[in-house]
Amino acid sequence: MSKAKASESTSVEREHTRTGMSKAALKQDFLDNLFYIQGRFREVATPHDLYMAAAFTTRDRLLKRWVKSAQAFKTLHARTLCYLSAEFLLGPHLANNLVNLGIIETSQEAGQELDLDFEAILEEEEEPGLGNGGLGRLAACFMDSLSTCQIPAIGYGIRYEFGIFDQAIEDGWQVEKSDTWLRNGNPWEIPRPKIRFPVLYGGHTEQYRDQNGEPRMRWVPSWVIDGVAYDTPILGYGVGNVNLLRLWKAEASESFDFQAFNVGDYYGAVHAKIEAETISKVLYPNDEPEAGKELRLKQQHFFVSCSLQDMIRLHLNTVGPLDDFADKFAAQLNDTHPALAVAELMRLLMDDHGMTWDRSWEMTQRTFCYTNHTLLPEALETWSVTLFERLLPRHLEIIYEINRRFLDEIRMRFLGDEDRVRRMSLIAEDGERRIRMAHLAVVGSKAVNGVAKLHSELVKSTLFKDFNALWPEKFHNVTNGVTPRRFMVVSNPRLARLITECCGHDDWIRDLDRVRALESHAESSDLQAQWKAVKLAAKRDLTEWLKHVTGVQLDPAAMFDVQAKRIHEYKRQHLNALHIIRCYQELKQGLLKDPVPRAFIFGGKAAPAYFLAKLIIKLINAIAEVVNNDPEVNGFMRVVFMPDFNVKTGQRLYPAADLSEQISLAGKEASGTGNMKFSMNGALTIGTLDGANLEIREAVGKENFFLFGMTAEDVLEKQIEGYRPWDYYHGDHELKADIDLINSGLFSHGDTKLFRPLTDDLINHDPFMVLADYRAYIECQQRVSEAYRDQQHWVRMSILNVARMGYFSSDRAIREYAKNIWGIAPTPIDL
Ligand code: HBZ
């Protein structure tokens, strides 16, 4: 080592010692935490003790930065973004925090010196599954990027005791197991029992006169519960900024407990406590009928009310009078789940803080922004007016008044156009009267955005056409992104190291555009060989793990063809299944001369009440059973359904994929983010022109993307002219043979009825046009196989995919929101 280098490294060591990041400090603190928090010494510690000690050792290091950030934001009165989301699908914290602290390697070495199995410690962590899928995971990526981009922010949500269910596969069927992520304690959260707000429900409203004789409204609730804050620090990568994720837990309000207690009703008081606590008990699965979900409306009001009361408290404590509330805060509504916030902020400002309607409305509209994540009509939230009346009578009044004023404006702008008034109303009047939460969100926000270019255009031209005609400047696009920290550095360290080596720096981790440097090396046979080796190593890891959890043996040399996402008809896992059946039939018939071996890998959960989605899982497993046990074909193909796809298991999958299946019907997938995660890890995409696929294809180059299928316009045209899946079934003998094979009972031990609901639906209705895209998909898959034969070319395409993914970092998305929507500048916190 040169003298200069040596003194540089000792100064780094000194700095690490000072900040507690040195190996020696990590080891000492780890042993201390094991002893003082877990009450164990090394020899008797369980894997969970070791994990807890590692987590606390890491958390201590976050806390220093957290306190510094909080102090700075307070004294600077920093404008703050509040991200209101019913879901945060965080994934395991430990490895991510070590990466963001810049001490993952030091920790590994420290672990080695203590004779610890570092991987086993990471594996011990139960992930907080506080989300269903894309929407919740986006919120988590955004929290990472907000901190990394140094935007002062608070994430507000619900601390569900039970997150998304754990999925087991039994006899090929999905079985839901309850998620008990809190059972062994959660070292990352800090309870704040003193940060507690009352949330009101039921009762009635009444008019009264205030001390100035002015008429005012007050809400007399029939019950009250408390929301208590639980805080999780979210550290940015390589910065001093730590933002706050504040999740609310429901507890019985003390005053109410005591009321019952005082009249001697001890059991009544306990019952009230249990009732109250159900509010934050369980996350609702998506894709379920909205009907009767009273608890869900209670949850929405619960977290929105706590969050807004907290924001008001913070404002009064730091800045002062509420007049400039909207200068201090921007609040992003993650879909319509928190859209009640529009009415709740109005209520708090008027009823609790004595503001006029006009002033409150001006502030409300300046505070909120709303992101839409779906165009599917069945997923658009509406709540029955009767339910509202019973649960939130004051909000109903406020919504009626917002609507009255809004519709008057429409009538003035569009004289005599009562049809438009009906379409735009916040209340749907056809059938049972219902509140349209999306309309409330649009009217109450200053900005509305979709999550990919195509989606944002469709938002303007279909769902919110009338609103776009009224307020064109309100509508924006911010294409989604994902965090390269979790989805490259944490999940694929081999690839991360190779990229760093090739670029000559690791700045790409904070500025993903810089991976473009790989482009100029795409032809290098040296890089290609290493690239291939990295992919193969990831495939080996996945193979070993899949063997362990499913018993299915894959061949790492085969093409890993992966579809991992929620199971839904619009995502068309059954189209993928038809292709697998096609391959099977062709192999059996000896039609394939020199087949390219493939491993078909699936992962994803179906909503517990979504029968067809669950039947699709059963079908995939049924096909797997036949294919994997047929020696005539299983040298060339294997099928596996990976159980319990979540953030943690996903991290094993993305690095190992060769081919990423993004095959939704055009116009249905708002953006997709899995498409980005796969591509960032060097998988090539087979996809339709849907969601962010379009932009990914543009970015990576048309020649490096396998495109097939109808466009959103084709789909619309076909719907207008009358889509007849029956014609496709009879017009394509291979398609017919594939569907008939399902009905033959081959995959169901002779039961010819089992899959009928699915096949009948395809032949007769096919709402997501699987049959119309079948032929194009099969042909495109043939192009994929041909391309895979030329490994050198494939690897080159893979390198280019990664090199050109800079745009899809969630840091870019957050910078766009900060600049174009929130108007918030970074507040850097020195390390
Ligand atoms: O949001 C997804 C979109 O389907 C996907 O295209 C997009 O990339 C992603 C992020 O923008 N939407 C969801 O994940 N939606 C839900 O999970 C959901 C949750 C609760 C509901 C309804 C939908 O009540």
Q: For 526-559, what is each residue's pLDDT tens digit?
A: 999 999 999 999 999 999 999 999 999 999 999 9
For ligand 1, the distance from its centroid to the CA atom of residue 332, given in whole angstroms, is 16
Say if residue 153 is in the same domain as residue 282.
yes
User: The CATH number of the domain where 251 resides is what?
Assistant: 3.40.50.2000
- Mean pLDDT, the chain, as a whole number? 95
The average pLDDT across 756-762 equals: 98
497 in a domain, yes or no? no
pLDDT digits (tens, 9 = 90+) for 694-748: 999 999 999 999 999 999 999 999 999 999 999 999 999 999 999 999 999 999 9
Closest residue by Cα to residue 104 from 384, 528, 491, 380: 491
| Best mutation site among 158, 284, 370, 373 for ligand 1 pocket (most ligand atoms within 8 Å of CB) | 373
Q: 115 and 185 share a domain? A: no
Active site residue 827: no
- Is residue 325 situated within a structural domain? yes
What ipTM did this prediction achieve? 0.98
In a domain, residue 122? The reply is yes
At position 446, the amino acid (one-letter code) is K
Atom number, ligand 1, closest to the C-alpha of residue 379: 22
The answer to whether residue 371 is catalytic is no
H-helix segments, 444-597: 453-458, 465-470, 484, 493-503, 525-550, 573-588
Q: Which domain holds residue 731?
A: 558-807
191 and 110 within one domain: no
For the question of residue 373 being annotated catalytic, the response is yes
Pair 97, 200 in one domain: no
- What is the distance between the alpha carbons of residues 349 and 346, in angstroms, rounded to a whole number? 5
Atom 1 of ligand 1, nearest CA residue: 135
Residue 256's pLDDT is: 55
Close Cβ partners of 17 (under 8 Å, ≥ 6 residues apart)? 24, 25
* Chain position carrying tokens 């190593």: 537
- Residues 622, 679: one domain? yes
435 and 568 assigned to the same domain: no
Residue 2 has pLDDT above 80, yes or no: no
Of the three residues 480, 504, 526, the one that is the final residue of a domain is 480
Within a domain: 822: no
Q: Are residues 578 and 469 in the same domain?
A: no
- To the query of whether residue 756 is one of the catalytic residues in this protein, the response is no
Are residues 574 and 471 part of one domain?
A: no
Query: Residue 711 Cα, ligand 1 centroid: separation in angstroms?
Result: 21
- Same-domain check for residues 611 and 636: yes
Closest CA to 771 of 720, 724, 737: 724
Nearest to 532 by CA among 746, 791, 160: 791
Domain assignment of residue 140, yes or no: yes
DSSP state, residue 137: H
- Decide whether any atom of ligand 1 lies within 6 Å of the 134 Cβ: yes
Q: Buried b / exposed e across 42-61, counting CB within 10 Å, b at 16+?
A: eeebeebbbbbbbbbbbbeb
Domain count, the chain: 3
Tell me, yes or no, whether 501 lies in a domain.
Answer: no
The answer, yes or no, to whether residue 1 has pLDDT greater than 70, is: no
Indicate which residue's Cα is closest to atom 21 of ligand 1.
286
DSSP string, 144-205: HHHHHTT--EEEEEE--SB-SPEEEEETTEEEEE---TTTT--TT-EEEEEEEEEEEESSEE
Last residue of a domain, one of 450, 480, 510: 480
Taking alpha carbons only, the member of 280, 281, 272 closest to residue 253 is 272
Instruction: Give per-residue pLDDT as tens, 79-123.
Output: 999 999 999 999 999 999 999 999 999 999 999 999 999 999 999
Q: Is 676 in the pocket of ligand 1 (CB under 6 A)?
A: no
Q: Do 586 and 686 fall into the same domain?
A: yes
Q: Is the pLDDT of residue 290 over 70?
A: no
In this structure, the answer to whether residues 157 and 272 fall within a common structural domain is yes
| DSSP strand pairing (204-209 vs 215-220) | antiparallel
Does any domain span residue 222? yes
Percent of the chain having pLDDT more than 90?
92
152 and 44 within one domain: no
Residue 273 maps to a domain: yes
